[in-house]
Structure 1
Amino acid sequence: MKKLLTGLLAATLLFAAAAALVAWLNLRDEVDVRVPVATITPSDTRLARGAYLARAGNCMGCHTARGGPAYAGGRGIATPFGTVFSSNLTPDEKTGIGSWSPAHFWRAIHNGRSKDGRLLYPAFPYPNYTQVTREDSNALFAYLRSLPAVERASPPHALRFPYDTQAALAVWRALYFKPGVYEANKQRSAEWNRGAYLVRGLGHCAACHTARNALGASSEALDLAGGLIPMQNWYAPSLSSPHEAGVGDWDRQHIVDLLKTGVSPHASTTGPMAEVVLRSTQYLSDADLGAVAQFLKELAPPASPAPQAAAPAPASVLKQGAKLYEQHCAQCHDERGRGVPQAYPALAGNRTVTMPQTANLVQIVLNGGYAPATDGNPRPFGMPPFVLVLSDSEVAAVLTYIRQSWGNQAGVVTPLEVNRMRAASVR
């Protein structure tokens, strides 16, 4: 009996210590919203700055439901743990941020905590936004408060147990979240630091371009090293690897062009990145885009070796793929995969084609590939979907042929890979 009581006491003390540690980690650098702060004067300059920052963070993209009022929330964001619904950012007193103070908003940005003290789910990317400065937070808040108020309550989150509990979220935050404003690297230029601030902060590029573990957390050690976007089944390629989307050897202006217009001599944007260009980066200043370009150019490439040439596919598969390519692809992409500049991308030597991860290729063939319509490229060329035209085995064959032709030496695409992507697209 004594041993049992001793064991229970030890377990209780251990649990209490763990709970205290989790609580302490969740209160690190906590913003005290009780401290009075000066009223933010909504000057024209501050409002313009806030509107610009809202574009940089693509806030409207998540906080606007399809067909709904801008920034009024209610958009469902699918996650592996259920659906999270975005909040109302208009200044409505009941359902929006009309009763919030600048400190409440800063705490949400910096600490991931709502006005009422609730912990926010990281579908709102506060693990990235925590690097935003207080000055930028205040400007963003002033802009949102200037919008028309819309009374619209967001639906409750639809998450599975235990992910729907604040206790589970607190443990997640204790493990994976640490607040901290961006600190300039004194060994780098002011331009590089501006680029790093935009990429790592409001731009929240790592939210897609970094792999996540089973609990939906990303590792700083794998920062911008590429990852499959949960639930969307698009692969956000590594921004540092020269074998994926690294731009270390690009002309800087070509990087700016890609982010400004969606196309460049090297690549065009499709899928989720096309939406980022459409709603966000095309509106950034040339100075800020240049800073982002400089930061991306100087990302250290990974130490991993270059991918090895894959074994050739069976001759029957390549023969089938060649015939399908001639019927459906050669008219635009050229019989030798050279493409048409500023219209249809070359497939020979194309990194999207040769990456080990084939999700994007399959997505584009099944569902089409469309660059965004931007001011700099208002009538982009696109690729039609073949989801109703080609079978799984035919998609696999034509992609395998493309990945092993004109000097490309990538691996085969299997019908099973295509089938999984097709099934995921109709969920």
Structure 2
Amino acid sequence: MKRFWLGVLAIIIVCGAGFFAYAWKPAIDPVEPPQRSSFDPALIEKGAVLASVGNCTSCHTRPGEKSYAGGLAVPTPFGTIYSTNITPDPQTGIGRWSQAAFDRAMREGVDREGRHLYPAFPFDHFTRVSDEDNRALYAYLMTRQPVNNPPPPNELPFPLDMRLVLAGWKLLFFDRGAYQNDASQSTQWNRGAYLVDGLGHCGACHTPRNRFGAEEKGSHMAGGEAEGWTAFALEGTSPAPIPWTHDSLFAYLRQGWHADHGVANGPMGEVTGNLGRLPDADIDAMATYVMSLMGEPSAERTAAARAIRGRAPAAPDPASTAGVAPTSADTPAARGAVIYQAACATCHDGSRPPPFGGINFHLSSAVNAPDPQNVINTVLFGLPAASGRPSAIMPGFAATLKDDQVNDLLAYLRDAFAGKPAWQDAAARIADTRSGKYQVSVRPSDGIERGPDNVGAKDR
């Protein structure tokens, strides 16, 4: 028996030593911060476009603070992670990072000092970025204004506060390597896949995650969550009443809205705002790739969309819509009909199309979705105006509607426009959203965050 336990101990020691050898990463020597003149201006400009594709500013900038200076609290199911400073400040940023150190962070999720990075930084997508694009990103970031700003320490429980644990996460879930073209697909499709699955890291929001925070295998783009919002499925289970087409998706990504699908809200507003720097050819490629995931709609869904188009131009009469009780009845849907008529119908009656008029709710993915979170967010917090240019706008009703009134409104929207029963968990979600349990990000299409607790924050 003694020999048995000695053998077990020996195996544990060997396995532990092997894991430590796998997990340990050496530091990369620091360098002097490179001068702007050492970079080709064209490379810097290319990096600026790529940083927009990667949406880098959204995580690495606190609202109202200097761009890329970090310190933004990123809530996760495991605790709060604070984004790092990626300005070229030599003390608190990446000013002493070489190109090799930057490449390792993107490819392997390991910083210059050899510490494993938390996957809140989506290195599982960034690993696919090409060497050429990494050089451009490095040139852009190293020519930003240096900002001395150390981020707060992460707020994670033991043992998740030990970065060595992340090596185990990578061993289980991380597939390292640059994107490889699929020879069976077109050049356009491959370009779209590279942008969507790589630097764009769309799956980080639009793919469900397992209990360990890793994207579910086999559920690519099947829908997920991001910053208090539901990120709808971008494959065959999309809840869009009117199926997406290549042209509608291209227009939505290009301009932040489409008449059949409404205006980008929440984190997606920032995404479409940043994609404005991409050329049409790249937006076209992204639409081509995503549409290949969605596939052709079924005959049943096509027929349903045709029926929706037949009744979508005008909002239903809340006193006579089939399935909704008369407004004198004391039911949630009936009470909600009155609220809709008073607060919503003026903009959502179909007489003024998006983006400056509200979408007719027959066409709304949010109203047809399996959960009510996006409708709740929009009703409570609205859609802020963009800065310095015309944009879609909607007032938030958090200060004027009580929780039970929001719940009644949702019951009416769900019944009258989607023909579906009310969401069972709507009341609890409304209360949790208002309380701040769900840390909801609210942004206009220009990408400047104005969350529920920081409306009016300065532009970045």
Q: 1:373 to 1:56 in 2, by over 3 A?
A: same
Distance 2:86 2:431 in 1: 39
2:353 counterpart SS class: coil
TM-score w.r.t. length of structure 2? 0.80
Q: 1:209 to 1:246 in 2, by over 3 A?
A: farther
Structure 1 residue runs without a partner (length 5+):
none
Q: How does 1:319-330 map to 2 (within 5 A)?
A: 319-330=334-345
What code does the residue aligned with 1:395 have?
V
Deviation at 1:54, TM superposition (A): 1.1
Residue 264 of structure 1: aligned partner? 258
Residue 381 of structure 1: aligned partner? 392
Contact 1:211–1:227 (Cα < 8 Å) also in 2: yes
1:384 counterpart SS class: coil
Residue number among 233, 247, 250 corresponding to 2:245 in the alignment: 250
What code does the residue aligned with 1:17 have?
C
Q: How does 1:390-401 map to 2 (within 5 A)?
A: 390-401=401-412
Residue number among 282, 298, 315 corresponding to 2:292 in the alignment: 298
Q: How does 1:5-404 map to 2 (within 5 A)?
A: 5-14=3-12, 16-17=14-15, 20=18, 23-24=21-22, 42-229=39-226, 232-241=227-236, 243-244=238-239, 249-252=244-247, 254-267=248-261, 268-278=263-273, 280-301=274-295, 316-334=331-349, 338=350, 340-342=352-354, 343-370=357-384, 373=386, 378-404=389-415
Contact 2:246–2:288 (Cα < 8 Å) also in 1: no
1:83 counterpart SS class: strand
Residue 442 of structure 2: aligned partner? none
Contact 2:240–2:364 (Cα < 8 Å) also in 1: no
Number of aligned positions between the proteins: 405
2:252 counterpart SS class: helix
1:221 counterpart SS class: coil
Contact 1:354–1:410 (Cα < 8 Å) also in 2: no
1:320 counterpart SS class: helix
Deviation at 1:18, TM superposition (A): 6.0
In the TM superposition, what whole-angstrom CA distance separates every residue of 1:213-269 from its partner, at most 9, and x where no partner exists? 22211123111110122xx321000011354259964242x3222222211112211
Contact 2:241–2:364 (Cα < 8 Å) also in 1: no
Q: 1:245 to 1:106 in 2, by over 3 A?
A: farther
Distance 1:19 1:270 in 2: 49
1:257 counterpart SS class: helix
Residue 451 of structure 2: aligned partner? none
In the TM superposition, what whole-angstrom CA distance separates every residue of 1:137-177 from its partner, at most 9, and x where no partner exists? 11111122222333332222222211110232222222111
What code does the residue aligned with 1:272 have?
P
Distance 2:155 2:360 in 1: 43
Deviates more, 1:102-111 or 1:84-93: 84-93
Contact 1:240–1:302 (Cα < 8 Å) also in 2: no
What code does the residue aligned with 1:350 have?
S
Deviates more, 1:43-52 or 1:66-75: 66-75
Distance 2:334 2:341 in 1: 11
Q: 1:4 to 1:420 in 2, by over 3 A?
A: farther
Q: 1:423 to 1:65 in 2, by over 3 A?
A: closer
Deviates more, 1:217-226 or 1:404-413: 404-413
1:147 counterpart SS class: coil
In the TM superposition, what whole-angstrom CA distance separates every residue of 1:301-332 from its partner, at most 9, and x where no partner exists? 599998xx9xx788722211212212221121
1:228 counterpart SS class: strand
Distance 1:339 1:412 in 2: 28
Contact 1:107–1:113 (Cα < 8 Å) also in 2: yes
Contact 1:332–1:344 (Cα < 8 Å) also in 2: yes
Contact 1:369–1:382 (Cα < 8 Å) also in 2: yes
Deviation at 1:60, TM superposition (A): 2.0
Distance 1:265 1:289 in 2: 18
Deviation at 1:408, TM superposition (A): 2.8
1:55 counterpart SS class: helix
Deviation at 1:99, TM superposition (A): 1.8
Deviation at 1:380, TM superposition (A): 2.0
Deviation at 1:425, TM superposition (A): 5.2
What code does the residue aligned with 2:270 have?
E
Deviates more, 1:167-176 or 1:186-195: 167-176
Deviation at 1:14, TM superposition (A): 4.0
Q: 1:325 to 1:293 in 2, by over 3 A?
A: same
Deviation at 1:406, TM superposition (A): 4.4
Distance 2:4 2:351 in 1: 74
Q: 1:417 to 1:51 in 2, by over 3 A?
A: closer
Contact 1:51–1:143 (Cα < 8 Å) also in 2: yes
List structure 1 segments (4+ residues) > 3 angstroms apart after TM superposition. Answer: 21-24, 30-34, 245-249, 300-306, 312-315, 372-375, 410-414, 424-427
Q: How does 1:406-417 map to 2 (within 5 A)?
A: 406=417, 408-413=419-424, 414-417=426-429
1:356 counterpart SS class: coil
